[in-house]
């Protein structure tokens, strides 16, 4: 009788420790990405293909699937932070959120030299062989599924690498053999595509990271926070995460007003100045004698430092 309560307490403490570890890992991973949001992006984000002849560009897709609902960009524009209010799965009757974060890849140095060649319709580019590290470096090089942003005096446009042939990188339209899973490469679009900024001299390209976080509850025994980048397969950010809720503080510079805790940023992702995070974690195992799981909610806020920031006290 003395031994049993001690064992039960030991199991409970183990549950609580596992829950805290999962929640803290999820918060750390998410905040480390959010603090980089907008780094290296043009002011106001990047215009994506739009107008006549276009379809909605997507995020959180790869060769296998698209992982969140309603995964299109507001105003066909790639913002530093794109809210996903209720776009995750429903877990324990609660609708979860997703969030998409865009920033320049800090490991890439591709734009140190202008491109040596761009095809007439913008579907093929060639990097200067003097670029170091090389564009095809084993560790940091460009891969199929990456997003590249091309910039020159005419502006910036993004494209998805869907084929590498020798020294040429292809950013073709959606084709059966080399599909464009994110619908970034739309040569027939009225604006916002790579053809809209060429021809122009001294065009440079850098790699962009478009990262989506969402809850995967396909295995209800192991809910997970997932991290999906560009058009690549998602990876697990933290296990036993069952809830993700986000709200946003925005600042309207025209009216000089602050609005807090908006689940969708009020439809103004370009005005986001702070992201409020709530992560719900669950213990890896249920309690002693079927006593149920331990649950924990961690909350924090993060200022998006690469965006213009203003706070009030």
Q: Do 257 and 251 contact (CB within 8 A), yes or no?
A: yes
The answer to whether residue 35 scores a pLDDT higher than 70 is yes
The answer to whether residue 291 scores a pLDDT higher than 50 is yes
Q: Is residue 308 part of a domain?
A: no
Last residue of a domain, one of 169, 184, 208: 208
- Model confidence at 252, in pLDDT bands (50, 70, 90)? confident
pLDDT of residue 12: 58
**In terms of domains, do 128 and 157 share one?**
yes
Q: Summarize the confidence of residues 220-242 as an average pLDDT.
A: 96
Last residue of a domain, one of 142, 173, 208: 208
**In terms of domains, do 81 and 225 share one?**
yes
**In terms of domains, do 117 and 169 share one?**
yes
Using one digit for the tens of pLDDT, what is the confidence trace for 158-201?
999 999 988 899 998 766 678 899 999 998 999 999 999 998 88
Domains identified in the chain, total number: 2
Q: Summarize the confidence of residues 19-24 as an average pLDDT.
A: 89
Q: Is residue 311 part of a domain?
A: no
Q: Is residue 6 part of a domain?
A: no
Q: Which domain holds residue 236?
A: 15-43+58-99+211-303
Q: What does pTM read for this prediction?
A: 0.91
Q: Which tokens is 99 given?
A: 């969030």
- Model confidence at 313, in pLDDT bands (50, 70, 90)? very low
Secondary structure E strands in the chain: 46-47, 77-78, 81-84, 90-91, 94-95, 98-104, 117-118, 124-126, 147-152, 155-160, 163-165, 168-170, 204-216, 224-229, 235-239, 241-252, 257-262, 272-282, 295-303
Last residue of a domain, one of 208, 234, 265: 208
**In terms of domains, do 215 and 92 share one?**
yes
């Amino acid at each position: 009788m003395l031994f049993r309560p001690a064992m039960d307490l030991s199991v409970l403490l183990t549950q609580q420790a596992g829950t805290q570890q999962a929640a803290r890992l999820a918060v750390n991973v998410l905040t480390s990405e959010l603090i980089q949001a907008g780094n290296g992006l043009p002011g106001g984000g990047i215009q994506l293909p739009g107008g006549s002849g276009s379809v909605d560009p997507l995020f959180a897709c790869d060769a296998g699937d698209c992982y969140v609902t309603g995964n299109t960009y507001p105003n066909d524009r790639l913002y530093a932070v794109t809210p996903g209010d209720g776009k995750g799965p429903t877990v324990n009757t609660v609708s979860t959120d997703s969030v998409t974060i865009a920033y320049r890849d800090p490991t890439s140095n591709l734009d140190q030299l202008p491109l040596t060649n761009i095809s007439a319709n913008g579907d093929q580019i060639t990097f200067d062989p003097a670029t170091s590290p090389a564009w095809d470096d084993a560790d940091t090089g460009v891969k199929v599924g990456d997003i590249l942003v091309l910039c020159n005096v005419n502006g910036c446009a993004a494209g998805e690498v869907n084929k590498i042939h020798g020294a040429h990188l292809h950013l073709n339209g959606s084709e059966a053999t080399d599909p464009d899973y994110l619908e970034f490469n739309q040569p027939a679009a009225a604006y916002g595509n790579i053809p809209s900024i060429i021809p122009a001299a001294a065009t440079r390209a850098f790699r962009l990271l478009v990262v989506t976080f969402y809850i995967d509850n396909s295995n209800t025994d192991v809910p997970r926070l997932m991290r999906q980048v560009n058009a690549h397969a998602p990876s697990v950010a933290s296990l036993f995460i069952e809830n993700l809720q986000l709200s946003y503080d925005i600042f309207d510079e025209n009216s000089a007003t602050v609005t807090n805790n908006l689940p969708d940023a009020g439809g103004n992702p370009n005005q986001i100045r702070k992201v409020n995070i709530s992560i719900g974690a669950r213990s890896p195992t249920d309690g002693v004698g079927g006593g149920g799981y331990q649950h924990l909610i961690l909350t924090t806020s993060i200022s998006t430092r690469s965006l213009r920031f203003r706070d009030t006290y």
